[in-house]
Every structure is written in structure tokens, then in C-alpha cells.
Amino acid sequence: MKIDLHCHSTFSDGTFAPTEVVQRAHSAGVNVLALTDHDTLKGIDEARLAATECGIQLINGVEISCEHTLNGGYGKNKSTNKIIHVLGLNFTDREQMHETLQQLQDSRATRGQRITEKLSELLSLDYDDLWQEICAKAGNNPQAVGRAHIGQVLFERGLVKTVQKAFDKYLADNKAAYVAIEALSMERGIELIHACGGKAVLAHPTRYQLSATRVRKLIAEFAELGGDGCELPANSEPLSTRRMVDRTIAEHELAVSTGSDFHGSNMPWRRIGDVPTINPEQQGIWQSF
């Protein structure tokens, strides 16, 4: 069984429509898939139709942006505020989930505009032209605008050498054009997922620019707040990182989840179906579905 419980479509910051995401998953040999667009469920129905045609089992999914403060550092780094992504998987109450997340989704358009304003000032660009180009990347849906769309436009304009460089210089947390997104607390996000009948999984714990100590602390606090599982590091990450995450997951008795975090052509290094293999002693979150 190949299980990919983390991917994105054009309803958030992916480049392929839900139907094509599912078709690509099928071609990659995926048996169980969750479409986990950012703070929206709008692509799930289309994905489910495609999954039925392909013979793939589709799980209800979403990736929720949550605020969380990590303490325990030293000096000026004593605490750090982060946007942490929490996957909601296999929930049944889509109406309650949608209503709560719609407020967050509405804030994404405002955030995209504010980032564009900052970039237009930093790079002496025309705001209207830049915003129009960014919106086009998101299917002319301002609510779907994400930082990946903005990074792609900067890359295509030759303003950065790669999309990743756009994040490194302008778009990542606390960089020159960064704007925080309106978010639930991590605790509230977990509670929402549980209230809707789903399982809460900490997404990509090693991608928040945290030290190893703070990665372990984040996983521990996620477990303490009632989280159900933790996503395993991608195959491209060092074996030492995987082993550290494995140990922390085991220590806090969390299930594991596997996902590619596929976005499409704007992040081609993340291939759908390219998921880590769980260890024999680990319990997949899907075993509780």
C-alpha cells in the first residue's frame, strides 16, 4: 500500500486541479490519498469523483495554519512564534470545518495583497501589475493566493534564481516581505479537527526553521495538546533527522503519517507518491480511520 496523506491543488497553492492531482497519484501507484489544501475543503468533491474513477481511496483532508509559541530558548531567542501546519485527516463534519476555516481563507487574500505591497516597495515594482500576475497564478482567485504563487512570479520575472530563493530572501517567516497569516492556535486547531471527527497530524515538523531541540519540543507539545500523529520527514532529508523524529514520536506515543506535500510544478522536487517508509514498530495514522 502506498499512502500519501498530504498534497495540494489549485484550490490553495498547488498548480494542478484536484482531478489531475488524483490522476498523477494513481499513475504514481498511490492507493490512499488525502487532498490537504490550505484552510479550504473546496477541492475535495472534485478529487473524490476522480478518485472513484481511478479506484483510489480518498480521505477527507485539510492543512490548517495554526499559531504556536515555543519557549525554552536563551536570551532574545527565549521564545519564538511560529505558524505551524496541522493536517486534519478523515474528518466527517465538513460543514463545521468549512465554516470555521472560511474566516481564515478570507484572510489569505488580504495577506497576499499585503505581501505584494511590500514586494512592490522593496523591488520598485508596479503593485497592480504584480498583483494581477500573482492572482493569475492562483486561478484568479485571491483567496487561493499563497507564498508559493508569489515566489513563482518572482522567479519567472528573473528577480530571484529559484522559487526557494524567493522564500529565503523575501517570503519565509520574518523575512523582508513576510506577513503573518490569521490563524487558530495549535490547540484550537487540534480541537476543531477532533470536533469534526478527524485525526490531527503535525505536518513536516522539520520545516519550520527550528533547531533539533525545538523540533523535539514542538512534537512533544503537539502530543500534550492532544495531537494524534506526526508526519515523517521526506526521503530527501538526512537519515539522522529521520531517526531523531522517529525517537521523539515513539517517546510521545504518536502515530505516524506519510505525505509528499506535493504542490506541482512550483515545487517539482516534491513528487506525489514519494513518501517515506514507516518502521515495523510504527503505527500509521490510517490504521485508526
pTM, whole model, 2 decimals? 0.80
Cα–Cα distances (Å) from 189 to 58, 90, 283, in that order, read: 22, 15, 23
Structurally, the chain folds into a number of domains equal to 2
Residue 176 lies in a domain: no
- Out of 171, 194, 223, a domain closes at 171
Helices (H) and strands (E) in the chain, counts: 9, 9
The CATH number of the domain holding residue 222 is: 3.20.20.140
The CATH number of the domain holding residue 157 is: 1.10.150
Same domain membership, residue 263 and residue 214: yes
Q: Which domain holds residue 244?
A: 3-92+186-288
Q: For Cα atoms 51, 57, 62, give the angle at the middle one, nearest 5 degrees.
A: 85
CA distance 267 to 139: 17
39-60, pLDDT tens digit by residue? 999 999 999 999 999 999 999 9
Residue 87 lies in a domain: yes
Same domain membership, residue 88 and residue 196: yes
Same domain membership, residue 196 and residue 84: yes
Mean pLDDT over residues 59-79, rounded? 82
Residue 179 lies in a domain: no
97-127, pLDDT tens digit by residue? 999 998 777 777 788 999 999 999 999 999 9
Using the 8-state DSSP alphabet, how is residue 78 labeled? S
- Out of 120, 148, 171, a domain closes at 171
What is the share, in percent, of the chain residues with pLDDT greater than 90? 83
